[in-house]
Amino acid sequence: MSISHTLLGLLEAGPRHGYDLKRTFDERFGHDRALHYGQVYATMSRLLKNGFVEVEGFEAGDGPERKRYAITDAGVTDVGRWLTTPEKPEPYLRNTLYAKVVLALLSGRNAAELLDVQTAEHLRLMRELTRRKRDGDLVDQLVCDHALFHLEADLRWLELAAARLDRLAEELRR
Amino acid sequence: MTPPAAPPGTAAEPDSPAADRPLLRAAGLHKSYGATPALAGASFSIDAGEVVAVMGPSGSGKSTLLHCLAGIITPDEGTVHFQGAELSALSDSERSRLRRGDFGFVFQFGRLVPELTCLENVALPMRLAGTPRRAAEGTAGEWLARLEVSDTHAKRPGQISGGQGQRVAVARALAARPRVVFADEPTGALDTLNGERVMELLTAAARDTGAAVVLVTHESRVAAYSDREVVVRDGRVRDLGAGAAGHR
Ligand SMILES: Nc1ncnc2c1ncn2[C@@H]1O[C@H](COP(=O)(O)OP(=O)(O)OP(=O)(O)O)[C@@H](O)[C@H]1O
Ligand SMILES: [Mg+2]
């Protein structure tokens, strides 16, 4: 996720202080991972240098979180371009799980058990997200659903891999 | 709800809390259809109020396990205990009383009685258990409302959508306040949104009434509504998280 475009996008609604930007980002998009203040300042100084934001004022006190940032016309254009450019779909071709299965088979370890344990771990997270969805609002639901559908896709692959384990082992032996 | 009297010759105490033993427990189940083994040493247990997902590939024996647990079919070998009473030791009429009073069922395509209205369908298990018509239909109406299908009251199953039928079936399974709900692919015929809503309503209602739910499904998003999952493979039940040593 592009942090600089997201922060810039938040500024389009009106100028904000550094701490306010961080808080809003965390609330809206942070979920389990809050931004570090360091990330915010580094991003804002880059945006300043590129002319996408300007400093509109200072609050009493010290430190970059007291700076009040406003988006420039160039910034608005940049956000617009970002929003209308489709994201490159993840190719998902390089995959740790697949590598683990192959290496387990090559080394004579129990690949079926590896798949089972991974399945249980995925299901545990899915159960937790389902609970969060139940107790949350529409925003939580959408975010959790996005994660749930991806985990479901992994699980389908795990199931398929388990069903084809013998054939895969045979091919690897050749 | 008054649990049925314990059958003679068992040590069952239906009124004692089920804290120290599972509500429903199966051990060493074997079942073959001719030469086809469907269950080969399956064991399973569920506590009161628990939702357990039963997963596994097609043909692995999930439905057969569920039917054995519910006393619909008798295993060739092995035992099923419900509240301390062994199902195979019960007479046929005791077993069907159990199925009517203590067990509720939801199947993939609802399986409602086509000649009855939806309200009558939901009231049916209560009527069979001896509840007077007005009381049974009053409760049935409340459950239809709870499942968000009050508008199906007077309609017959042939006049409603699949998703509505599934909700009516869940209402019917829960209205008689069973101790165990058996659900075999309850969302199998539904789209994602409807399936999720049915799962939400089913698990919320089960939580409220303290019913246990045995949930057969091959969909992980449906299984995620459970408290834990087991996997049926080659006629045996496995606990995934425990790895290879996880036979239960
Ligand atoms: N009434 C029956 N007569 C003969 N064979 C049966 C019968 N019911 C099930 N079987 C066989 O027993 C095995 C287990 O079937 P079961 O219906 O329990 O599987 P399942 O896990 O529920 O599958 P699915 O996910 O496809 O519903 C299969 O090989 C099936 O063909
Ligand atoms: Mg089945």
> For residue B98, which amino acid is it?
L
Residues 6+ apart with CB under 8 A from A172: A102, A105, A106
Residue B98: pLDDT band by 50, 70, 90 thresholds? confident
The mean pLDDT of A18-35, rounded to a whole number, is 88
The mean pLDDT of A163-170, rounded to a whole number, is 91
Give the number of other Cβ atoms within 10 Å of residue A81's Cβ.
Answer: 10
Pick from B220, B225, B231: CB nearest A152 = B220
* Secondary structure of residue B227 in the 3-state scheme: coil
> Does the CB atom of residue B139 touch ligand 1 within 6 A?
no
How do residues B153-197 score in pLDDT, each as one tens digit? 999 999 999 889 999 999 999 998 999 999 999 988 788 888 888
Asked if the model's pLDDT at residue B246 lies above 70, the reply is: no
Residue in B119, B111, B159 with CA at minimum distance from that of residue B136: B119
A140: which 2 tokens? Answer: 């939580």
Predicted pLDDT at B36: 92
A148: which 2 tokens? Answer: 């749930």
The mean pLDDT of B146-156, rounded to a whole number, is 94
Q: What are phi and psi of B119, to 5 degrees?
A: -60, -45
Please name which ligand lies nearest the alpha carbon of B29. Answer: 1
How do residues B40-66 score in pLDDT, each as one tens digit? 999 999 999 999 999 998 899 999 999
Note whether A152 contacts B: Cβ–Cβ < 8 A. yes
CA distances to A114, A126, A172, B158 from A100, rounded to whole Å, are 8, 22, 13, 51
Residue A8: pLDDT band by 50, 70, 90 thresholds? very high
- What distance in angstroms lies between residue B38's CA and the mean position of ligand 1's atoms? 6
The overall longest dimension of chain A from CA atoms, in Å, is 72
The mean pLDDT of A100-112, rounded to a whole number, is 91
B18 vs B138, higher pLDDT: B138
Predicted pLDDT at B10: 42
The best mutation among B36, B58, B66, B187 to test binding of ligand 1, ranked by most ligand atoms within 8 Å of the C-beta, falls on B36
Residues 6+ apart with CB under 8 A from B226: A127, B51, B52, B53, B213, B215
CA distances to A25, A49, B90 from A16, rounded to whole Å, are 12, 18, 73
* Secondary structure of residue B121 in the 3-state scheme: helix
* Cβ–Cβ below 8 Å for A129 and B225: no
Predicted pLDDT at B96: 85
The mean pLDDT of A89-97, rounded to a whole number, is 82
Q: Is A108 left (phi over 0), alpha (psi -120 to 50) or beta?
A: left
pTM of the model: 0.82
Predicted pLDDT at B241: 64
Predicted pLDDT at A63: 66
The mean pLDDT of B219-248, rounded to a whole number, is 79
Please name which ligand lies nearest the alpha carbon of B54. Answer: 1
CA B233, B234, B237, B241 torsion-angle sign: negative
